[in-house]
Structure 1
Amino acid sequence: MDAFTPNLDACRGRQQRLLAEMQKQGWKRVIATRGETVQWLSGVYLGPLWSPCAALDADGRLTLALPNRKRDTPAAADEVVGYEAKWHSTFRNDQPAASAAALTAALAPPTGLVAVEWSQWRTYLQAAAGESPADVESTLFSLRRHKDPDELRMMQRANDANRAMFARARDVVEPGLTELDLYNELHAAAVRILGEPLTYFGQDFRANARGGAPRDRAAQAGELWILDLGVGFRGYFSDNARTLAVGGDPTPAQQDAWRRLADVFPLVESTVKPGVSCRELHEQVQAMLDDAAPWAFNHHLGHGVGLAPHEGPHLNPQWDETFAVGDFFTVEPGLYHDELRHGIRLEQNYVVTDSGVQLLTDWPLELV
């Protein structure tokens, strides 16, 4: 049996959490049109080429619209209706309308306020939503922060690929290796460990650069190679980073920058617990790394991960959030400067527990 088959009981539990919020808000129905929301509620992952949608009614009934050829996919749904996603093997350009029509036909007219995902709203669903639907997105994003055990298992599996990629990078990084060749090596390592195609592959593969897509450029001795890597495993994402010294002989400045960044993690591990401010943690680390000027730390400290590569909580001064039990989050301090050729980023993953955090990526951090 596949150990990573979707846990439909866990999906039903997530439906119950949304139903509790619906009762608080007075919503009689929620319509989901984001693929990741459909997966979170039903367990069905189809990928970006398809247009599923779903409706959860206040009585607990989940109705799911899937392509006809996918209707037998195991799902935490009370009714699955089908639509034609392809005609004679060609994807329909109006697939979202076909999906919406199938869902609408299966639903009773709304009897009260309906909430929808505004940024992904399909006007084809107006008949199922009523005249003035509310926006459910902030509620869903908040609920998705709490990772259930089945979700953590999927994300740990994605991280198995990351661990294998970093091990492979340590084996092959040397002067003369091109960024594209390393990209191919890492992709192959991830596919080998997972035993199936990836549902995402990114994100930073450049040497002597802050980040970016791989180039046909050979790395040179003395450069730093930031590898901020993520894969998708059946819709769930991973995201963590290591930096390697090309040639295996980091300069004293590079070693000092690495030490300053490595010192951030004990601070995080001794500070974070439910109720702690994400913004204040960012500000504390910002002040700590500002002492390294002119080397610069000028981005977020971290973020949540899950069915999207960036979720809450946001360790970022643009958000004012607090940590909560079940948050899966990254911490990714960095220092960048020409003197460092061109910088270092280290990124660990944690989950918030009742009393603190658990480190999930206890792998080598060193430059060599």
Structure 2
Amino acid sequence: MKDKPQLTVEGCRARQRRLRKRMGALGVERAVMVTREHVQWLTGFRPHWLMSAAAVLDLEGDCTLIAPNSEPEFHAADQVATFPMQWQATLRMEAMQAIAEAMGQAVDRGDAVVGAEFSSFGPHAAAAVGEARVDLDPVLWELRRVKESDEVAMIRKAIACSDAMYRRAREIIRPGISELEVFAQLHAAAVEEAGEALSHQLGNDYQCNSPGGPARDGVVANDGELYILDLGPAYRGYFADNCRAFAVNGQPTEAQLRAWEVIVSVFDIVKEMVRPGVSCRALYDRCKALLDEADPTGSFWHHLGHGIGLYPHEAPHLNPNWDDVFQEGEIFTV
């Protein structure tokens, strides 16, 4: 049996406290979440990918979970209301309307100042709890930057799946292997490590002799090529993100080794610079200068890294299009 971490009641309560603190500062008396990421982040319950849920957090009251079909075995809500997501095993497409009906019965509509995810909050939810006056999307994204210990455990498990995939990659990548075979075997390795089904695409890049993309039918790895893998398995909603490059024949050239040495030297800068309060843009600029010195053509156009969590790309953004500052408790990839 594989170790299967999950979010904890203590971690969820800590996140609820942090959100309530921000709600108080914004004058929000009730927060309504309808995206699966924020329902999970707040209550610990993540619905099946074909189902929906919602959560309501009152500033001076309860945390209410609106769950599909029945009360889940694990959650960190004070009360649970359910709605029929299925009728005689058939999934209902009008899930949000059903959620709103259950929400309206579970919480008093009143005249509370409502905050919600403006990107997802619609008229059905508004009819149940009132119009949202404050957009909580940026607040929640900012709060998600700092991970509680239970979230760290989830991400470690996702990274363990990624490690298993790379161990398998080292065993199988040889001239003649197809991209689809590599993908299939790496998927199997991740599932074996997770100890449960993983349905996500498991990362972005599975192409050989290419900057990236999904595995292609009929394409095989050839002698002399590089196989660049960018793997990002998600364990129960939490993502890993690790990239590696393999010489298909196991014999990297001198030029490839020199490029590898330059890239690896970036990590020395990261370890030297990254502290709470340091500018992510300053880190990006310094690392780009090093890479551009090695390749005067300026081929490094990409971001340097980003945070990970309930979304593959979260803050902090190591990217000149943002001006984030590192915070204690963040997890990021370079």
Same fold (TM over 0.5): yes
What displacement does 1:72 show? 3.1
- Structure 1 stretches lacking a partner, 5+ long: 332-368
1:3: how far off?
Answer: 5.2
Distance between the aligned counterparts of 2:100 and 2:199, measured in 1? 25
Cα distance in 2 for residues equivalent to 1:247 and 1:133:
59
Compute the displacement of 1:243 (Å): 0.5
Give the letter for the 1:16 counterpart.
R
Where in structure 2 are the equivalents of 1:255-266 lying within 5 Å? 255-266=257-268
* Contact map agreement 1:199 1:235 (CA 8 A) in 2: no
Q: SS state of the match for residue 230, structure 2?
A: strand
Native 8 Å contact 1:47 1:199 kept in 2? no
Task: Go from structure 1 to structure 2 and tell me whether the alpha carbon gap of 1:180 and 1:189 turns closer, same or farther (over 3 Å shift).
Answer: same
Counterpart position of 1:358: none
Give the C-alpha shift of residue 276 in structure 1: 0.4
| One-letter amino acid of the structure 1 residue matched with residue 44 of structure 2 | G
When the two structures are superposed, what TM-score results if normalisation uses the length of structure 2?
0.95
2 CA distance for matches of 1:264 and 1:60? 48
Task: Tell me the matched-pair count.
Answer: 330
Taking only the aligned residue pairs, the percentage that are identical comes to: 43
* Partners of 1:199 and 1:231 within 8 A in 2: no
Q: Secondary structure, in 3 states, of the residue corresponding to 2:80?
A: strand
Which stretches of structure 1, 4 residues or more, deviate above 4 A after TM superposition? none
Give the equivalent residue in structure 1 for 2:270.
268
Question: Per-residue deviation at 1:228?
Answer: 0.5
- The separation in 2 between residues aligned to 1:112 and 1:97, in whole angstroms, is 21
Cα deviation digits, residues 35-57 of structure 1 (max 9, x gap): 01000000001242111011101
The one-character-per-residue Cα deviations of 1:10-33 (angstroms, maximum 9, x if unpaired) are 101110000000111110000001
Residues 317-351 of structure 1: per-residue CA shift (max 9 Å, x gap): 111110000010000xxxxxxxxxxxxxxxxxxxx
SS in 1 for 2:119: helix
Q: 1:103, CA displacement in angstroms?
A: 1.1
Length-normalised TM-score, structure 1: 0.87
Q: Report the Cα distance in structure 1 between the residues aligned to 2:262 and 2:180, rounded to whole angstroms.
A: 30
Runs (5+) with no aligned partner, structure 2: none
Question: Does 1:320 pair with 2:327?
Answer: no
Partners of 1:28 and 1:111 within 8 A in 2: no
Contact persistence 1:63–1:79 (CA under 8 A):
yes
Contact 1:313 1:329 survives alignment (8 Å): yes
**Does the residue aligned with 1:262 lie in a helix, a strand or coil?**
helix
Quote the residue 2:181 is aligned against.
Answer: 181
Q: 1:91 offset after TM fit, Å?
A: 1.0
User: Structure 2: how far apart are the matches of 1:214 and 1:311?
Assistant: 25
Alpha carbons 1:175, 1:221 under 8 Å: kept: yes
Aligned residue in 2 for 1:160: 160
Equivalent residue number for residue 67 of structure 1: 68
Aligned to 1:133, what secondary structure does the other structure show?
A: strand
Which residue in 2 is equivalent to 1:40? 41
Pairing 1:215–2:216 present: yes
Change in 2 beyond 3 A, CA 1:208/1:293? farther
- 1: CA distance, partners of 2:297 / 2:79: 60
Selected match of 1:249 from 248, 251, 267? 251
What is the CA–CA distance in structure 2 between the aligned matches of 1:329 and 1:100, rounded to whole Å?
A: 36
The CA distance in 2 between the partners of 1:221 and 1:293, in whole Å, is 28
- Between 6-15 and 126-135, the greater mean CA deviation after superposition: 126-135
